[in-house]
Amino acid sequence: MATVLRVLYLVFSEGYSGDVDLAGEAIRLTRQFAARTRHEEVAGLLALMLLHHARRPARTGPDGGPGPSPSRTAAGGALA
C-alpha cells in the first residue's frame, strides 16, 4: 500500500505545476482507492491532495505560473 500511495502522491506533485491536469487525475485515482480500501492513510493522502488542490488558484497567476506571495504584493507586508 505504501508504494501505491507514494506513486499517487508523485503523480499529484508532478501534475501540480504542469500543464496537464495530472493532479486532478491523481485525486480521482486516490478517491477510487480510498473508496475500496477504507484505510486511514489513504483518506489522509486524499485530504492532503484536496487541500493543496483547492489552494491552487490562489497560488497561480493568470498565466498559470506561480503567483506572487503575500510579501511581494503591492500592499507588501506579512499576514497578521
pLDDT of res. 14 = 86
CB neighbourhood size of 44 (10 A):
12
Residue 73 in domain: no
- Write out the residue range of the structural domain in which residue 20 sits: 2-59
Q: If residue 53 lies in a helix (H) or strand (E), which one and from where to where?
A: helix 40-54
| Residue 80 pLDDT exceeds 50 | no
Total number of domains in the chain: 1
% of residues, the chain, pLDDT over 90: 45
Please give the average per-residue pLDDT across 16-41, as a whole number. 89
Instruction: Say which amino acid occupies 11.
Output: V
Give the pLDDT confidence of 56-65 residue by residue, as tens digits. Answer: 777 666 766 6
Residue 42 in domain: yes
Q: Please report which confidence band the pLDDT of residue 44 belongs to, taking 50, 70 and 90 as the band edges.
A: very high
Residue 75 in domain: no
Residue 21 in domain: yes
Q: Which range, 19-23, 49-53, 64-68, has the best average confidence (pLDDT)?
A: 49-53
Residue 47 in domain: yes
